[in-house]
Amino acid sequence: MNYPCIKVDLDKIEDNARFIVDKCKENGIDVYAVTKVFCGNVQIAKAALKGGVIGLADSRVENLKKFEGLSCEKLLLRLPMKSQVQEVVKYADTSLNSEIETIRLLDEEAERQGKVHNIILMIDLGDLREGVWEDKVMETAEEIVKLKNIGFGGIGVNLTCYGGVMPDDVNLGKLISFKEEIEKEFEIQLKIVSGGNSSSLYKVFDGSVPEGINMLRIGETIVLGRETAFGEAVEGMHLDAFRLQGEIVEMKRKPSLPIGKIGMDAFGNTPSFEDRGEIIRAIVALGRQDVNIDGLEPYDSKISILGGSSDHLLLDITEVADRYKIGSVVEFNVDYGALLGAYTSEYIQKR
């Protein structure tokens, strides 16, 4: 057995996915599970599919490629790179897009591969990440409908990612209006109106999602059981599907304040310390090179994290010192950033 490792409870992931799928279904909304935070781990993706999501969505083609053997819809979230259109058409059924230049390349590549590639046109409704600006929606749509090997699957928005803009009746309402306008102007049907990510769920829970939003792309809430508009735990969901485990390599009684003149720490910051007197300190073999340690929370609430460096995590275990020894394993819950780090780090075993 190797440490550090991240353990996932697949039943909890399945439960969480089913919880979201059921709530969304009541509102006429399909759910794609977003798999990027666990780097497209196939077992976790399968658990989400068991929970009833209609497809898998990831920002990286490399992760979608891992899903090649799974029979479900595959959606590329990050705008395709021009240099990657071949893989995009090969591994994604649908991609989110905002640049007509790239969409034209996808069209040519789809013809070459004898496929229709579906796109969702992203509209920027104020969050200032991806999407065409409102005054360019109709002219972009006009170009898209001319392309023979592109399926115009629908439109979408991404919110609360860069600008922190909350999904509300105004911006989601605009999205629905654009659907109607495009359908009327070009005499087509748009199947999908994708109303965002986990931050849109609060409107699903309170029943206020405008009618017409029929798809959401959900990552964080499925894996961590929290919605992201207010950061609230969702009642009825598992908050503890993941456990990051690290091993204690030193445990000693020492002061809580360093001795000597304080300069900079390993990361160039001037540290400050709280005087707790003498404490029992434990070092866990895990560090900033693996995860954002600020995103860790010990499952044992009597343990507190003092800080850490690249490879060392320092804990105050004074209150529970009798329960731990050298070689003991300490378990942590993770936030989104720490989970991403844990799955990305080649030093952390996945179990």
Ligand X SMILES: *Cc1c(COP(=O)(O)O)cnc(C)c1O
Active-site residue list: 36
Stretch that binds ligand X, among 105-113, 211-219, 275-283, 337-345 (CB under 6 A): 211-219
Measured between alpha carbons, how far is 286 from 278 in angstroms, rounded to an integer? 23
Nearest residue to ligand X, by Cβ distance, number only = 219
Per-residue x/- mask for ligand X, residues 91 to 120, rule CB under 6 A?
-----x------------------------
Instruction: Choose between 40 and 298: whose C-beta lies nearer to ligand X.
Output: 40
Tell me the C-alpha distance between 160 and 283, whole Å: 37
CB 192 within 8 A of CB 214: yes
Owner of token pair 């654009």? 178
Among 4, 195, 219, 298, binds ligand X (CB under 6 A): 219
Kindly state the tokens that stand for 186. 């070009």
Q: How far is the CB of 61 from ligand X (least distance, A)?
A: 14
| Residue 17 contacts residue 33 (beta carbons within 8 Å) | yes
* Beta carbon of residue 237, minimum distance to ligand X (angstroms, whole number): 13
Three-class DSSP category at 282: strand
Please pick, from the candidates 5, 34, 204, 283, the single residue that binds ligand X as defined by CB under 6 A: 34
In contact, 14 and 47? CB cutoff 8 Å = yes
x/- letters, 271..310, toward ligand X (CB under 6 A): ----------------------------------------
227 near ligand X, rule: CB under 6 A: no
Give the shortest CB-172-to-ligand X separation in angstroms: 15
Q: If binding is defined by CB under 6 A, does position 200 make contact with ligand X?
A: no
Residues 176 and 155: beta-carbon distance below 8 Å: no
Nearer to ligand X, 251 or 338 (CB): 338
Q: Does 198 bind ligand X (CB under 6 A)?
A: yes
Measured distance CA(204)–CA(28) in Å, rounded: 10
Total residues in contact with ligand X, by rule CB under 6 A? 13
Q: With contact defined as beta carbons under 8 Å apart, do 140 and 132 qualify?
A: yes
Which tokens in the block code for residue 5?
Answer: 């490792």
Under rule CB under 6 A, residue 171 binds ligand X? no
Task: Quote the Cα angle for 176-54-95, to 5°.
Answer: 60
Q: Which two tokens stand for residue 114?
A: 């004898």
Residue number with CB closer to ligand X (36 or 312):
36
Q: How far apart are CA 285 and CA 345, in angstroms?
A: 14
Region 142-161 residues binding ligand X, contact defined as CB under 6 A: 158
End-to-end Cα separation, the chain, in angstroms: 10
Q: Which of 93, 127, 220, 227 binds ligand X (CB under 6 A)?
A: 220
- Least distance from ligand X to the Cβ atom of residue 82, Å: 19
CB of 197 to ligand X, least distance (A): 3
Nearer to ligand X, 15 or 220 (CB): 220
Sign, Cα dihedral of 257, 263, 269, 270: positive
| CA–CA distance, 51 with 75 (Å, rounded to integer) | 18
Smallest separation (angstroms) from ligand X to the CB of 198: 3
* Interaction site with ligand X (CB under 6 A): 34, 36, 59, 77, 96, 158, 197-198, 217-220, 228
